[in-house]
Amino acid sequence: MMATNAEKLVDESTASEEWDPKIIVFCCNWCSYAGADLAGVSRLQMPTDFLVIRTMCSARVDPEFVLRAFAKGADGVLVAGCHPADCHYIGGNYRTRRRIAILRVLLEQYGFDPDRLRLEWISASEGEKFQKTIREFTERIKEIGPNPLKED
């Protein structure tokens, strides 16, 4: 049911030029949030269409959060955590990796483009990577188009 609706909506919305995607970014406190801060300290410029929610560890990102975000109309969700083995909480990010992989499969089954959900490892010193990730992801989301669940 969802899928059919989705197809229709995608067609309509890609026609409209003026569209700023809404992207939710979950950053773990110790690496990715710090990396995002470093991007700021280094004045790295990037699109404005994302909003960061800080969690202590990327492993805290409940699948429910991701699904909720999509249900509420987010066009993309980015989860950013410490590099494997760098996790402040020893192994949290391995769990994140598995969860996100499963969620992507799930999204696909619901007719969502799995690329709407992305996982990136961004360390505290990778301000530039944060910038690059945001830029690329925003571009990708723009390509995919608005969230099919979004109502007019």
Partner 1 sequence: MATTTIGSVMVVGGGISGVQTALDLADSGFKVYLVEKRASIGGTMAQLDKTFPTNDCSMCIMAPKLVAAGRHHNIELITNTDLEEIDGVPGDFRVTLKQKTFRVDKSKCTGCGVCAEKCPVETSDEYNEGMRKRKAIFVMYPQAVPLVYCIDRKACIGCGVCAEECRAKAVVYDKPDEALEIRVGAIILSPGFDEFDARIKKEYGYGVYRNVVTSIEFERMLSATGPYFGVVMRPSDGEIPKKVAFIQCVGSRDEKVGNPYCSSVCCMYAIKEAIIAGEHTKGLEPHIFFMDVRAVGKEFEDYRERAEKEYGVKMHRGTRVASVEEDPVTKNLFVRYGGNDQIETEEFDLVVLSVGMRPAADAEKLSRRLDFKLNKYGFCETDIYDPLCTSRSGIFVSGSFASPKDIPTTVAEASGAAAKAGSLLSDARNTLVTVKEYPVEIDVSGQEPRVGVFVCHCGINIGGVVKVPSVVEYARTLSGVVYAEENLYTCSADTQERIKETIKKHNLNRVVVASCTPRTHEPLFQNTIRESGLNPYLFEMANIRDQCSWIHMHEEEKATKKSKDLVRMAVAKARLLEPLKKSQLPVNHSALVIGGGLSGMIAALDVASQGFDVHIVERTSRLGGNLAKLHHKEGSREPKVFMDELIDIIRGYPNITVHLDTNITDVTGFVGNFKVKITDGEVEVGAIIVATGAVGYEPTEYLYGQDDRVMTSLELEEKLSRREFKGKTVVMIQCVGSRNEKVPYCSRICCSTAMMNAIELKKQHPTSEVYVFHRDIRTYGFREDLYREAGQLGVNFIRIPEASMPQLESSEGRLKIIARDVVLNEDLVIWPDTVVLSVGVRPNKDNEELAKMLKVPLSKDRYFLEAHMKLRPVDFATEGIFLAGMAHWPKFVDEAIAQASGAAARAVTIISKDTLDTEGIIAAVNEDICDGCGICEPVCEYKAIQIVKISDSQEKLKAIVNEGLCKGCGACVAGCPSGAMEQKGYKTSQVIAMIDTALERGDS
Partner 2 sequence: MNSFEPKIIGFLCNWCSYAGADLAGVSRFQYSPNIRVIRVMCSTRISPNLVLEVFKSGADGVIVGGCHIGDCHYMTGNYYTDKRMKLTKELVELAGIEPERLALEWISASEGEKFARVVTEFVDRIRHLGPIPTKNDQKLMKRLEAAAEASKLFRLRLLSGKELRLTGKGNVYGEMIEAEKMDEILDSAVNDEYDRSLILELTKNNALSVKELASEIGKSAEATLGHVATLRARNLLSICSIDGFTPRYKAIRLGGA
Q: Report the residue from 21, 33, 80, 133 that binds partner 1 according to the rule CB under 8 A.
A: 33
138 interface partner picked from partner 2, partner 1, none, CB below 5 to 8 A per type: partner 2
Q: How many residues bind partner 2 (CB under 8 A)?
A: 10
Closest CA to 147 of 69, 78, 79: 69
Residue that is written with structure tokens 């994140």 in the block: 96
Q: Report the residue from 66, 138, 145, 149 that binds partner 2 according to the rule CB under 8 A.
A: 138
Residue that is written with structure tokens 């709407």 in the block: 116
Helix 32-41 to helix 127-144 angle (10° resolution) is: 100
Element (H, E) at 79: strand 76-81
Q: Report the residue from 1, 16, 18, 43 that binds partner 2 according to the rule CB under 8 A.
A: 43
- Which region among 3-11, 37-45, 67-75, 95-103 touches partner 2 (by CB under 8 A)? 37-45
* Strand order across the beta sheet in which 76-81 lies: 50-55, 23-28, 76-81, 117-121
Touching partner 1, residues 71-100 (CB under 8 A): 72-74, 85-86, 88-92, 95, 99
Distance CA 111, CA 108 (A): 5
Q: Which residues bind partner 1 (CB under 8 A)?
A: 22, 24, 29-31, 33-34, 36-46, 48, 51-57, 59-65, 68-69, 72-74, 85-86, 88-92, 95, 99, 123-129, 131
